[in-house]
Structure 1
Amino acid sequence: MRHDSAYPLYAQIADQLRANIQTEKWQEGERIPTEMDLCDIYHVSRITIRKAIDELVSENLLYRQRAKGTFVKQFSPDTNEYATVVKGFTQELREQGKNATTLQADISKSHADHKIAKYLQIKPGDDILILKRVRGDGKNIVAFFKTHIIFREDYSLKSKDYYGSFYDYLATKDIRVNQENEYIEAISATRELQKLLKIGDNEPILKRVRFTSQKEMNFFEYTECFYIGSKYRYYLDFG
């Protein structure tokens, strides 16, 4: 664990706890050590441990159960919990009377680490595609998306084929996502995000993490979306 005054201690602890989950040192459904035990392990206060756990609870990686402890979330991308109508960026902007544009797209073949393998329900090291896109509304840069999907031979490896709607592209492969889970949180922009989104140090960022699937087609998606706070609103439709 690094001792960096510019990086809060609770966040450093959260990184360690998150790694325990991603590497499956802590299995799904397993109760993690108590707050007091973690205090002894990391030699920090209970307040620090509690803040670190709160961060992972907000990420939907851990959950608390009264009088029993804190447990690793059992994740299933096809669960109906938090399920919403699957709606892409293109459709969101269209409903606001705007045109979605892609300013930059990059597609690459890679290999799944433990975290991505868990989310895509594959083995670490399996082939995946990583799609990175900077998107806008025709006038301004609005967001940066980083998408992970399982590699298929019929997927294009040409970046130009991903400048339109991603879900429209999937439809040409007979994939129509029918399940979605997501969570949203406010974060500070990293230097990489500041450069991609062309924003300053103090610009707030809305991070939206999306899990989608069409299980019958063995399709699973994990996407991290980073929106410029002043240029994006997230609408919920309860109708």
Structure 2
Amino acid sequence: MTTALPLSDLQNTSGGPLYMKLKRMIEEAVSTGRLQHGDALPAERDIADAADISRVTVRKAIDELVDQGLLVRRRGSGTFVVKPVPRMQQPLTRLTSFSEDMRRRGMVPGSRWLTRGLYHPTPEETMALGLSGSALVARIARLRTANDMPIALEQTSLPDDILPNPDIVENSLYQVLSQRDIRPVRANQRISAALLRDEETELLGVPFGSAALRVQRIAYLSTGRVMEVSTALYRSDAYDLVAELTIGS
């Protein structure tokens, strides 16, 4: 870290208050690649000692970089560099999976599994999916990534006869279902703003208190049966949801 952040030289650099000097030093280290996405900064006490400045000064510099989205604090772990995520536009007129969306953009989709299995349904799942009293629900929850960058948190529930073995889903749920000739033909989506909980911000690698786009989807088969209900939390710094409107006659 001494090479990435020459903190002992901070006092000798010119240009403004000490916290601004430290802020610029960290920004330069990130822009030149000396600090990479996911790298941890030294503890604030260690930075203060190495640069011979107060912890208040260190905290102010880091606070501004967290507000800018260049750094993120993870409770109990420390402060980490966050690589800027290119903004992506998602049309609302196409029914596609996350994996299809990312591949269409030339990106590699990925998943980190949080939940995957068969469960007794909640009352909400029973009602939304039209389940009988004895049916189970296939529930999968995962962190979705693009080129290894966290993009969204997604939870999907399906009737157990549509997905009897959730463990066979590796990446694309729709691809697995398509192999069984099960395909959604339409969906209703509800989009709203949401504040992320602390554990959600840690998973997505965004600052505490960040906002997200919540997309709730109900997908239907050609028979009219509900195939799935899902809720996804998309990083608001990465996603724009776009709809094309036409004027009726």
Scaled by the length of structure 1, the TM-score of the pair is 0.58
Deviation above 6 Å: which 4+ runs of structure 1? none
In the superposition, the TM-score normalised over structure 2's length comes to 0.55
- Residues 1:126 and 2:119 are matched in the alignment: no
Change (3 A) 1:92 1:154: closer
Map of 2:124 onto structure 1: 115
Taking the TM superposition and a 5 Å limit, the aligned residue runs for 1:1-239 are 84-104=93-113, 106-123=115-132, 126-152=135-161, 155-158=164-167, 161-216=168-223, 218=225, 220-236=227-243
CA distance in 2, matches of 1:220, 1:105: 21
Amino acid paired to 2:150: I
Identity %: 17
Structure 2's unaligned 5+ residue stretches are 1-91
Structure 1 CA distance for aligned equivalents of residues 131 and 145 of structure 2: 32
Q: Contact 1:112 / 1:125 at 8 angstroms: preserved in 2?
A: no
Unpaired segments of 5 or more residues in structure 1? 1-82
Code of the residue aligned with 2:121 in structure 1: it is A
Q: Which letter does structure 2 place at the counterpart of 1:137?
A: A
Deviation of the 1:99 alpha carbon:
2.1
Deviation of the 1:101 alpha carbon: 1.4
**How many residue pairs get matched?**
155
Shift of residue 219, structure 1, vs aligned partner: 5.1
Alpha carbons of 1:186 and 1:128: their partners in 2 closer, same or farther (altered >3 Å)? Answer: same
Following TM superposition, by how much is the alpha carbon of 1:235 offset from its aligned partner in structure 2, in angstroms? 3.5
Aligned amino acid, residue 216 of structure 1: T
| Secondary structure of residue in 1 paired with 2:203 | helix
Which of 1 and 2 has greater Rg?
2
CA deviations over 1:103-141 (Å, ceiling 9, x no partner): 335311112222111111124563101101111111310
Alpha-carbon RMSD across the aligned residues, in angstroms, is 2.5
- Report the Cα distance in structure 1 between the residues aligned to 2:163 and 2:101, rounded to whole angstroms: 28
Report the residue type matching 1:150 in the other structure. P
